[in-house]
């Protein structure tokens, strides 16, 4: 997660809205870690899938749908 955030900051630091986007990303990562710590595998999976789908929509600027999301851990 740290590597991803570092890369994202370097790539987008000068774009409008980056600070808010990163705040939301960190909040999502924090929630994922809490779900994993609680050993809530189903909750963690639901949360991560929703996170990836939201990121796909934001990055692809449209309704990407679940088929466009690549889950490297699924």
* pLDDT per position as a tens digit, 24-52: 888 999 999 999 999 999 999 999 999 98
Q: Give the DSSP H or E segment for 16.
A: none
How many domains does the chain fold into? 1
47 neighbors 32 (Cβ within 8 angstroms): yes
74 part of a folded domain? no
| Residue 73 counted as domain residue | no
| Higher-pLDDT residue of 16, 28 | 28
Residue 6 located in a structural domain: yes
Give residue 27's domain range: 2-68
pTM of the model: 0.64
CA distance 8 to 25: 10
Residue 9 lies in a domain: yes
From residue 14, alpha-carbon distances to 11, 32, 42, 53 in Å are: 8, 27, 37, 24
- Residue 21: how many CB atoms within 10 A of its CB? 15
> Within a domain: residue 18?
yes
pLDDT range class, residue 73, cuts 50, 70, 90: low
Q: Could you tell me if residue 54 is inside a domain?
A: yes
């Amino acid at each position: 997660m740290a590597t991803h955030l570092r890369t994202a900051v370097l790539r987008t630091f000068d774009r409008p809205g980056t600070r808010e986007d990163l705040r939301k990303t960190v909040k999502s990562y924090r929630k994922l870690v809490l779900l994993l710590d609680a050993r809530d595998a189903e909750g963690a999976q639901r949360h991560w899938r929703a996170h990836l789908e939201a990121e796909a929509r934001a990055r692809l600027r449209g309704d990407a749908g679940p088929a466009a999301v690549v889950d490297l851990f699924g």
